[in-house]
Amino acid sequence: MLLEGIPISSVLVALVCTLLIYFVALSIYRVTLHPLAKYPGPLRYKLSSWLLLWQAYKGNRHIWHLKDHEKYGPIVRIAPNALSFNTDTALSTIYGPRNANVKKGEWYKTFDIAAGTYSSFTETDKDKHAAKRRWLSVAFSAECQRLNEPVIIDLLDRFCHHIEPSSDGWGASWNGSEIATYLGFDIMGSLVFGTDFQTVQNVKNRDLANSVLPASMFLYWISYLPLAMLVRPLLRTKLFEIVGGKPVVDNNRLIDFGHEQVLARDVEEKAGDLSGRKDFLSRIIKNHDKKTGWQPTQADLDTESLNMMNAGADPYSSVLAGIFFYLVHNPEVLQKATSEVRSTFASPDEIVNGTKLNSCSYMYACIEETLRRTAGVPSHLPREILPGGLNVDGHHLPAGTVVGVPAYAIHHTPRYYPDPWSFRPERWIESESVTRENIELARKAFTPFSIGTRQCSGRNLAYLQLKLTVAHILFRFDLRIDPDESSRGGGHLGMEEGREREDEFQMWDALGFGRDGPMIQFRKAAAT
């Protein structure tokens, strides 16, 4: 034999030396000869992508993105093969046109692999994605939104009755993140599945709602594993449930739940019992892509219905929690928004989609400003450059390069948003001090739902839900922060760097974001 007579220790030493030489050579290449070697960024990012995994695990990638851009400028090398941009022009180039020479990359394949197929969010093939968007369009049409608005309003009415104090004084203390999560889950459960979860009213019904974010956060950091392709096939196995623990179990429970809902609806559809249903699932189960003839499979229905519920509930809930936080921490803003709502409507029955609701420009500006401060996905949504390369901000980047624009970083860039750490709804309203050009520039960098052909399909629905929710709450209640727990939800000294601002709603980055607080109290408004 070739190695006969050679001590095993010598073989191991040779192997270690070979690996050491390889990694040293690879490191030198990445720093000096790699196509991205000229771009600024910390040395540790240039050498390895493992740090991205650690940041994703800790939930602070968005903070590091911002700090890196503040130090290195509008282009930062954040991994050996990845660049982060912080300009409106890069945002438009990377995410805007359908014919942009990029695609969603390998990172997305982790999220739906356990369900057996890719959703409209994770589908990397542009043509397949377009077919799925057309198929799903019936669920997000203006007609569907109009038919389901009474469902939203009914759930808001029940929510308001649940949080209403029994006396005329200040009521119990509520965790804004928790009640927003349960309300969002109830709304999307009704809209997508036609199911009344009653998570707001019944503590026993909250297990599924409480599992969505932990499952998402787990998949988020797992997706950054350098060897993620080896992990994906294991996500639905019992072995991985043991290794990954509760987040893996929760994710599998969610997949099973979506599957059960679709099976039940399929039985109804075959029996001809869907005529009176208005929910999203009933619409898409009967639909297909008329342009190509593509028909959804059982796995497509499972994945997409669950994706619609989760992707609809969590961003709405996180932004609503942010609205609670920023309103109670900015009393003048709260008073102005409340006065506008109460002077516009005479009763809760009037608070519906239409001219009056759309006239509440200051309330809407509060929503926009919260979306700026608490974008649903704070870090960038990666795109992989296709063969032929891509020109971004005057730089020609080679195929295979991963690029993106992190929402949290660009939303806190003074060029677009002067005094970015202040909560100022006025920045969205034209006035003597805010020009139309100021607002247009801010809009160019505004990406709470992404932009272009891959932006969130439920964007208009999310805005409608938020406007209805905020208007109903401000009309019916006075709000204040619980004086005994005034720090919940904000930053403070002693937290990690970048989390020291007491008046900033803290986010733990994921696909969505982790949050807690604020602790708020409601009091019945005198007018109602």
What is the average pLDDT score of the chain?
89
Please say if the pLDDT value at position 184 is more than 50.
yes
Binding-site residues for heme sit at 456
Please say if the pLDDT value at position 289 is more than 80.
yes
* Residues whose CB falls within 8 Å of the CB of residue 127, separated by 6 or more in sequence, listed in order: none
The residue written with tokens 């198929």 in the block is: 135
H, E, C per residue of 192-232: HHCCCCCCCCCHHHCHHHHHHHHHHHHHHHHCCCCCHHHHH
Please say if the pLDDT value at position 13 is more than 80.
no
Rounded to two decimals, what is the model's pTM? 0.92
Range of lowest pLDDT (17-21, 52-56, 75-79): 17-21
Range of lowest pLDDT (239-248, 372-381, 457-466): 239-248
Please say if the pLDDT value at position 434 is more than 60.
yes
pLDDT at 471: 98
Report, at the CATH architecture level, how domain 34-524 is classified.
Answer: Orthogonal Bundle (1.10)
**Other residues' Cβ atoms within 10 Å of the Cβ of residue 492:** 11
Please say if the pLDDT value at position 37 is more than 90.
yes
Range with top average pLDDT, 207-216, 240-249, 276-285, 362-371 = 362-371
pLDDT at 272: 66
3-state secondary structure of 338: helix
3-state secondary structure of 513: strand
Angle of helix 207-222 versus helix 50-58 axis, rounded to 10: 160
Please say if the pLDDT value at position 234 is more than 80.
no
The pLDDT > 70 percentage for the chain reads 95
The residue type of 145 is Q
Please say if the pLDDT value at position 485 is more than 50.
yes
Select from 305, 311, 454, 471 the least CA-distant residue to 376.
Answer: 311
pLDDT at 1: 47
Please say if the pLDDT value at position 74 is more than 80.
yes
The pLDDT > 90 percentage for the chain reads 53
Mean pLDDT, to the nearest integer, of 444-473? 92
- Render pLDDT for 341-352 as a digit per residue (tens, 0 to 9): 999 999 999 999
pLDDT at 384: 95
Range of lowest pLDDT (312-316, 367-371, 509-513): 509-513
Mean pLDDT, to the nearest integer, of 487-514? 90
Residue 4 confidence class, pLDDT cut points 50, 70, 90: low
C-alpha–C-alpha distance, residues 398 and 35, integer Å: 7
pLDDT at 488: 92
Mean pLDDT, to the nearest integer, of 204-212? 86
Mean pLDDT, to the nearest integer, of 283-306? 87
Range of lowest pLDDT (238-247, 270-279, 507-516): 270-279
C-alpha–C-alpha distance, residues 84 and 101, integer Å: 17
The residue type of 130 is A
Please say if the pLDDT value at position 320 is more than 90.
yes
Select from 81, 77, 86, 89 the least CA-distant residue to 105.
Answer: 81
Range of lowest pLDDT (20-34, 60-74, 147-161, 410-424): 20-34
Binding-site residues sit at 456
Please say if the pLDDT value at position 507 is more than 90.
yes
**Other residues' Cβ atoms within 10 Å of the Cβ of residue 480:** 16
pLDDT at 27: 81
Mean pLDDT, to the nearest integer, of 128-146? 88
Residue 86 confidence class, pLDDT cut points 50, 70, 90: very high
pLDDT at 115: 65
Mean pLDDT, to the nearest integer, of 33-50? 92
Range of lowest pLDDT (23-37, 75-89, 185-199, 275-289): 275-289
Please say if the pLDDT value at position 515 is more than 70.
yes
pLDDT at 521: 96
Give me the sheet containing 519-524, strands edge to edge: 173-175, 519-524, 477-481
